[in-house]
């Protein structure tokens, strides 16, 4: 695969963490992402908001190289996802929507597995694994099989896996879906602590507006494959008048409610969401 | 929210972020070693799998093997039928384990694990190669089972360490190919139940159209042709050469198996991304 050897580890110059220009992606006749422009600056927490079928996950999957780039351009810290996918992957930590741990391994083995896959040098590996498990509050449970973890612990273990390579960009796809409020708070608290401690850029998708409002520096509201509005949550709300919530802003720009009857989430996406919610439930 | 001073410094600035690229010649063996290690770790946490996977070879050896050993129905020259059969059962056990390995990759797709693996700096081909040798680790446990069982049944197999190590390597290669075949089918059909159906459909033909149970010399012409293009026959031939000292074409056998693994890795790695879409 091209674009690996000698690729810049931290990206080029002052390039933003993510720059999408005219990104369009189709599945057959269905246009999932319809020509979006998006810039995520270094060090910010950026939320991609919208209901199932808005195109959030497709956007994430193009920028993390899971889906091929069909139209437009996407750069991660200046690295073109089409030309330098391996350089992009080295900069990413990714937590997908599904609960994605190996239940037959211990927490420590799950994290060490990803440390090896990211080529963390052997002499640094044990300390790195311990560090991320400690930071995620899993040190005491590290040697238990991950299949015995609660939903919130699984999410934190996934964060530990995503962080073990010290990513410049942490990508979280619906990280709190299906979690109870306490577990959700736990996940966000860890993300916020990390971001404060490291200055890491975080790109997340969610359809929980109140969470995005509290955590994100900037948000983009997506609906039917397009970005309908973007900016700081306070700025977007202020533009609609006092007492406005982010959900009101979304309704204004899209004419629909999150999760409303006119959302276009595909069967597979909805099934994935329900399966995840069921597994953590 | 303020930073907790107790939080370990798990990240860094962008300039120091990520991990350095490693040379491709190091990456492939490193990934194979990683996936094999993970397979061993899983086995160490659930040793019942070793027992359940041992049932089938035991049945073949004890029931089928003992019976045909007494019947003398299959001409194997001066070699007792049980000794002739043992390498065939080792290869067959590996085949049965590997041919359903694609189900695991579909399960990993459904669980989101495959998605995460595909976002690591691992070329698709290294991922498939690693997984195929992990399947080989699973299958090679059968070698140990059949070797022990053969000793209990009074079958004399080679006790030369080189032959035994060679047998493990040949089973790894054979199983790696059949797991690639399974992962290739998984990349085409994308669903577990379809793969189960196809796996069941092709397993027995692959087994019977090989020299695992009977020598090629007694096969009808059309079956000899199938046996000739069946990698399982080359695996069995090599195992017989090493374990019972029968005339074998070791160089040709290993070359065919290596070529089959290369082709299998190429096919499966070209399709694996379909599973993540």
Chain segment B117-167, per-residue pLDDT in tens: 999 999 999 999 999 999 999 888 878 888 888 888 888 888 899 999 999
Which residues pair with residue A48 across a beta bridge?
Answer: A205, A220
Q: Is A156 on the interface with B (CB under 8 A)?
A: no
User: Which residues 180-219 of A have a C-beta within 8 angstroms of B?
Assistant: 189, 192-194, 196-201
Chain B residues with beta carbon closer than 8 angstroms to that of A275 = 110
| Interchain contact, A91 vs B12, CB within 8 Å | no
Spatial contact of A141 and A149, defined as CB atoms under 8 Å apart? yes
Instruction: Count CB atoms within 10 A of the CB of residue B14.
Output: 24
Instruction: Report the residue of chain B nearest A16, measured CA to CA.
Output: B14
Chain B residues with beta carbon closer than 8 angstroms to that of A62 = none
Q: Which of B8, B16, B121 sits opposite A89 (nearest CB)?
A: B121
Chain B residues with beta carbon closer than 8 angstroms to that of A102 = 38, 42, 113
The answer, as to whether pTM is greater than 0.80, is yes
H helices of chain B, in order, are: 24-45, 48-59, 66-71, 81-99, 101-111, 113-118, 124-152, 161-189, 192-208, 221-228, 231-243, 250-275
B120 min Cα distance to partner chain A (Å): 6
Q: Report chain A's terminal Cα–Cα distance, integer Å.
A: 40
| Interchain contact, B22 vs A119, CB within 8 Å | yes
H helices of chain A, in order, are: 56-63, 85-90, 107-117, 125-135, 151-163, 181-198, 209-215, 233-238, 246-254, 267-280
Instruction: Report the residue of chain A nearest B114, measured CA to CA.
Output: A100
Chain B residues with beta carbon closer than 8 angstroms to that of A9 = 15-20
Q: How far is CA A278 from the centre of its chain?
A: 20
CA-atom Rg of chain A in angstroms: 18
ipTM of the complex: 0.84
Q: Which of B11, B17, B116 sits opposite A9 (nearest CB)?
A: B17
Instruction: Report the residue of chain B nearest A129, measured CA to CA.
Output: B10
| Interchain contact, B116 vs A104, CB within 8 Å | no
Query: Residue A249 is encoded by which pair of tokens?
Result: 């802003």
Q: Show Cβ contacts of residue B1 under 8 Å, excluding neighbours closer than 6 positions.
A: A189, A192, A193, A196
Q: What are phi and psi of A9, to 5 degrees?
A: -70, -40
Digits of tens for pLDDT over chain A (281 positions)? 333 433 334 555 689 999 999 999 999 999 999 999 999 999 999 999 988 889 999 999 999 999 999 999 999 999 999 999 999 999 999 999 888 899 999 999 999 999 999 999 999 999 999 999 998 999 999 999 999 999 889 999 999 999 999 999 999 998 887 778 888 888 888 888 888 888 899 999 987 888 888 889 999 999 999 999 999 999 999 988 888 888 888 888 877 655 544 444 555 555 555 555 555 44
Q: Which of A64, A77, A90 sits opposite B19 (nearest CB)?
A: A90
Q: What are phi and psi of B102, to 5 degrees?
A: -60, -30
Comparing CA positions, the residue from A49, A135, A48, A60 lying closest to residue B276 is A60
């Amino acid at each position: 695969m091209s674009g690996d050897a000698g690729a810049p580890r931290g990206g080029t110059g002052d390039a933003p963490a993510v720059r999408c220009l005219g990104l369009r992606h189709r599945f057959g006749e269905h246009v999932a992402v319809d020509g979006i422009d998006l810039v995520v600056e270094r060090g910010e927490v950026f939320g991609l908001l919208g209901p199932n079928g808005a195109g959030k996950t497709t956007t994430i999957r193009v920028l993390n190289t899971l889906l091929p780039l069909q139209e437009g351009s996407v750069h991660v810290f200046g690295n073109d996802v089409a030309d330098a996918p391996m350089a992009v992957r080295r900069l990413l930590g990714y937590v997908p929507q599904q609960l994605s741990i190996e239940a037959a391994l211990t927490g420590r083995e799950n994290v060490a597995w990803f440390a090896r896959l990211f080529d963390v040098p052997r002499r640094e590996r044990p300390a790195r694994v311990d560090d991320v498990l400690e930071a995620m509050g899993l040190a005491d449970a590290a040697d238990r099989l991950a299949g015995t973890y609660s939903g919130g612990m699984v999410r934190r273990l996934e964060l530990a896996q995503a962080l073990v390579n010290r990513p410049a960009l942490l990508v979280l796809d619906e990280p709190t879906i299906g979690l109870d409020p306490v577990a959700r708070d736990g996940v966000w608290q860890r993300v916020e602590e990390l971001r404060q401690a490291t200055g890491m850029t975080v790109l997340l998708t969610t359809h929980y507006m109140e969470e995005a409002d509290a955590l994100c520096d900037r948000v983009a509201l997506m609906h039917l494959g397009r970005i309908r509005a973007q900016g700081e949550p306070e700025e977007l709300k202020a533009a609609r008048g006092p007492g406005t919530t982010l959900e009101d802003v979304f309704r204004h720009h899209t004419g629909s409610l999150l999760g409303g009857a006119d959302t276009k989430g595909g069967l597979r996406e909805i099934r994935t969401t329900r399966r995840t919610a069921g597994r953590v439930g | 929210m303020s930073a907790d001073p107790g939080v370990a410094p798990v990240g860094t600035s962008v300039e120091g972020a990520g991990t350095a690229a490693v040379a491709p010649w190091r990456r492939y063996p490193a990934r194979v070693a990683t996936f094999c290690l993970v397979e061993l770790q899983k086995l160490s946490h659930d040793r019942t799998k070793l027992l359940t996977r041992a049932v089938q070879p035991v049945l073949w050896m004890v029931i089928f093997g003992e019976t045909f050993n007494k019947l003398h129905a299959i001409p194997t020259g001066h070699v007792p039928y049980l000794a002739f059969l043992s390498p065939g059962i080792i290869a067959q056990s590996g085949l049965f384990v590997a041919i359903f390995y694609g189900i695991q990759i579909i399960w990993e797709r459904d669980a989101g694990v495959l998605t995460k693996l595909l976002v690591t700096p691992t070329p698709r081909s290294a991922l498939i190669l690693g997984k195929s040798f992990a399947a080989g680790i699973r299958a090679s446990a059968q070698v140990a089972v059949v070797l022990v069982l053969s000793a209990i049944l009074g079958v004399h197999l080679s006790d030369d360490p080189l032959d035994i190590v060679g047998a493990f390597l040949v089973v790894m290669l054979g199983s790696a190919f059949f797991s690639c075949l399974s992962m290739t089918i998984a990349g085409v059909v994308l669903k577990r139940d379809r793969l189960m159906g196809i796996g069941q459909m092709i397993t027995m033909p692959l087994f019977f159209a090989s020299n695992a149970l009977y020598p090629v010399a007694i096969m009808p012409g059309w079956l000899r042709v199938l046996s000739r293009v069946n990698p399982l026959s080359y695996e069995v031939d090599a195992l017989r050469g090493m374990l019972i000292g029968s005339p074998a074409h070791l160089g040709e056998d290993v070359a065919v198996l290596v070529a089959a693994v290369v082709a299998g890795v190429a096919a499966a790695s070209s399709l694996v991304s379909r599973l993540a879409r």
